[in-house]
């Protein structure tokens, strides 16, 4: 059995459901490859009495046939008859099988890729609702786990269901990619001995997706892994991009247009800018697309400091998608050594800077802990001003606006050694603080904070400008 890395809160939720004196209905959702199935199977390894996985793009007849096969496999020869003709009959058959099980032991029913089962006009969801409301919910010995990669479908049809499942969920888990700390734990559990600088590089390209992290081999550098899996003919991640979105959305064309547009703008785009760039009409369709991508964890939205909701910015935060669109999709170079040859290029250095910034923005909680403000109410977001003919603009990687009348101005810098603040960059930093105060009118105290790979090299500018400096070690907390 492979040990579960991280997932402490999620395991606690699943274990508590087993101790409950009532039947439990749990929804688990999150993007593809994030480890939902593994989590449920490992925690409930001894308690699962029935498991069924939906068949992608299969009609109702095939789904029912697969369901019947799963019942016969798990309940044995006592299951008689033919394949049920509809889902109501299928759940009646499952009910008969479950009634033969002892009531003194908690039993788990696991429905994986739940959205794939609900085909058009199949009435699957309605039949499942009836199965839960009239029979399962009245028992005290059953835990039902429904799992799906299409987070938007799970939220709309299950979590926020307005019909028979309305308010029926007892617990829900949105499974997110690993943090850097969980990534480190996971690699250690697989006997992968690489330092944190290597782990950071891996995370910047693959994110905290367990299925992708599993690709690295013992005794291999991250650069070698990326080279093999992204640039050789049979590399797992060379063609993952298209299947990633098509498996989650019925028609992923417009989703991928939005992803492509955001990939070209590291600072993100407003709704109006997306409309112009993607040629998608404003209205409910665009809102639905953005909601689906955000619910699935591919993009994130935020309202910049001192702005309102109409100025909301959308950013692509899926590391693999960004890496694919930047380096893999249009690469004219393929084969062994492709990535290794790019590691000293200006393109790589530019990408690494933005990728490091995105990683930091995913670990704001860890940054706040290091700053000693985890107990202070805060609001965090990047900030920028375009400026005008009379005054220059400025960009700030991250602002942490605190309830104690202070603001941390955070700069994130990726470097292969200690980072040195030059006189030119020092002038730029002073201008940032000046422009921010001028544009926002803020009277709060500004604390300049640096997060770099190996720390700052001390000089007169670090002494006069910087209040706190940290290495990437703080992101691994």
Residue 425 is encoded by which pair of tokens? Answer: 């960059």
> Does residue 261 sit in the same domain as residue 386?
no
> Does residue 312 sit in the same domain as residue 351?
yes
Residue 76 and residue 467: Cα distance in Å, rounded? 68
Tell me: pLDDT of 171 over 80.
yes
Residue 374 is encoded by which pair of tokens? Answer: 């985890």
CA-based nearest residue to 326, from 292, 280, 358? 358
Residue that the structure tokens 């990619």 belong to: 177
- The answer to whether 292 touches 157, Cβ cutoff 8 Å, is no
Strands 394-402 and 48-53: unpaired
Mean pLDDT, residues 162-184 taken together: 94
User: 379: how many CB neighbours lie within 10 A of its CB?
Assistant: 13
Q: In this structure, what is the dihedral angle of CA atoms 353, 359, 364, 370, given to the nearest 10 degrees? A: -80
- The answer to whether 447 touches 409, Cβ cutoff 8 Å, is yes
> Does residue 46 sit in the same domain as residue 167?
yes
Let me know if residue 30 belongs to a domain.
Answer: yes
Instruction: Give the three-class secondary structure for 189.
Output: helix
We report the CATH number of the domain holding residue 28 as 3.40.50.300
CA-based nearest residue to 420, from 453, 383, 467? 453
- The answer to whether 30 touches 297, Cβ cutoff 8 Å, is yes
pLDDT of residue 413: 97
> Does residue 31 sit in the same domain as residue 49?
yes
Using the 3D structure, point to which of 143, 174, 205 is the last residue of a domain. Answer: 174
Q: CA dist 194 to 94, 220, 283, 356, 454, Å?
A: 48, 9, 48, 18, 16
Let me know if residue 142 belongs to a domain.
Answer: yes
Residue 474 and residue 277: Cα distance in Å, rounded? 37
> Does residue 22 sit in the same domain as residue 41?
yes
Let me know if residue 468 belongs to a domain.
Answer: yes
Tell me: pLDDT of 77 over 90.
no
We report the CATH number of the domain holding residue 231 as 1.10.10
Q: What share of the chain is helix, strand, coil (3-state, %, to 5)?
A: 45, 15, 40
Sign of dihedral through CA atoms 238, 244, 245, 246? positive
Let me know if residue 1 belongs to a domain.
Answer: no
Residue 87 and residue 122: Cα distance in Å, rounded? 7
> Does residue 316 sit in the same domain as residue 348?
yes
Tell me: pLDDT of 58 over 70.
yes
> Does residue 312 sit in the same domain as residue 205?
yes
In the chain, what percentage of residues exceed pLDDT 70? Answer: 99
pLDDT digit string (tens) for 312-331? 999 999 999 999 999 999 88
CA-based nearest residue to 229, from 202, 264, 197? 202
CA-based nearest residue to 300, from 280, 279, 321, 281? 321
Residue that the structure tokens 């992923």 belong to: 252
> Does residue 349 sit in the same domain as residue 429?
no
In sequence order, which residues have a C-beta less than 8 Å from that of residue 218 and are 6 or more positions away? 191, 192, 193
Let me know if residue 2 belongs to a domain.
Answer: no
Let me know if residue 3 belongs to a domain.
Answer: no
pLDDT digit string (tens) for 116-137? 999 999 999 999 999 999 999 9
pLDDT digit string (tens) for 387-446? 777 778 899 999 999 999 999 999 999 999 999 999 999 999 999 999 999 989 999 999
Domain count, the chain: 3
Residue 30 and residue 57: Cα distance in Å, rounded? 19
- The whole model's pTM is what? 0.92
Using the 3D structure, point to which of 134, 152, 174 is the last residue of a domain. Answer: 174
Which range of residues forms the domain containing residue 112?
8-174
> Does residue 42 sit in the same domain as residue 102?
yes
- The answer to whether 157 touches 118, Cβ cutoff 8 Å, is yes
> Does residue 351 sit in the same domain as residue 412?
no
> Does residue 220 sit in the same domain as residue 111?
no
> Does residue 164 sit in the same domain as residue 140?
yes
Let me know if residue 392 belongs to a domain.
Answer: yes
């Amino acid at each position: 059995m492979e040990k579960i890395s991280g997932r402490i809160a999620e395991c606690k939720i699943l274990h508590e459901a087993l101790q409950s004196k009532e039947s439990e209905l749990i929804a688990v959702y999150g993007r593809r490859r994030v480890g939902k199935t593994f989590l449920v199977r490992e925690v409930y390894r001894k308690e699962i009495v029935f498991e069924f996985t939906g068949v992608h793009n299969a009609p109702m007849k095939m789904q029912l046939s697969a369901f019947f096969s799963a019942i016969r496999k798990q309940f044995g020869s006592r299951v008689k008859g033919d394949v049920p003709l509809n889902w109501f009959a299928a759940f009646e058959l499952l009910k008969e099988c479950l009634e033969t099980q002892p009531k003194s032991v908690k039993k788990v029913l696991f429905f994986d890729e739940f959205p794939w089962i609900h085909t058009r006009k199949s009435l699957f969801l309605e039949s499942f609702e009836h199965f839960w409301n009239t029979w399962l919910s009245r028992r005290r010995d059953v835990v039902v786990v429904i799992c799906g990669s299409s987070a938007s479908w799970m939220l709309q049809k299950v979590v926020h269901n307005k019909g028979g499942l309305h308010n029926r969920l007892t617990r829900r888990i949105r499974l997110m990619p690993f943090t850097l700390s969980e990534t480190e734990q996971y690699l250690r559990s697989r006997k992968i001995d690489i330092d944190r600088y290597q782990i950071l590089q891996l995370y910047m390209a693959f994110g905290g997706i367990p299925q992708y992290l599993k690709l690295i081999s013992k005794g291999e550098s991250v650069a070698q892994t990326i080279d093999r899996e992204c640039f050789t003919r049979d590399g797992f991640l060379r063609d993952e991009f298209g299947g990633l979105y098509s498996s989650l959305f019925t028609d992923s064309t417009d989703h991928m247009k939005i992803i492509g547009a955001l990939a070209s703008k590291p600072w993100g785009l407003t709704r109006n800018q997306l409309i112009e760039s993607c040629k998608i009409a404003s209205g409910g369709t665009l809102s639905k697309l953005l909601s689906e991508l955000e619910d699935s964890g591919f993009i994130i939205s935020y309202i910049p400091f001192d702005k309102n909701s109409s100025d909301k910015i959308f950013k692509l935060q899926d590391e693999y998608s960004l890496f694919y669109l930047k380096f893999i999709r249009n690469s004219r170079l393929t084969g062994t050594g492709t990535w290794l040859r790019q590691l000293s290029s200006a393109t790589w250095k530019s990408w690494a800077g933005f990728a490091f910034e995105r990683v930091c923005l995913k670990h704001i909680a860890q940054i706040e802990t290091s700053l000693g403000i985890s107990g202070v109410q805060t609001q965090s977001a990047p900030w920028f001003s375009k400026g005008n003919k009379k005054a220059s603009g400025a960009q700030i990687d991250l602002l942490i606006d605190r309830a104690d009348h202070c603001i941390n101005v955070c700069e994130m810098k990726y470097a292969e050694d200690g980072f040195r603040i030059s006189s030119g960059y020092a002038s730029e930093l002073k201008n940032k603080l000046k422009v921010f105060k001028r544009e926002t009118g803020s009277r709060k105290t500004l604390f300049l904070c640096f997060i770099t790979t190996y720390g700052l090299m001390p000089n007169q500018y670090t002494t006069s400008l910087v209040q706190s400096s940290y290495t990437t070690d703080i992101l691994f907390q």
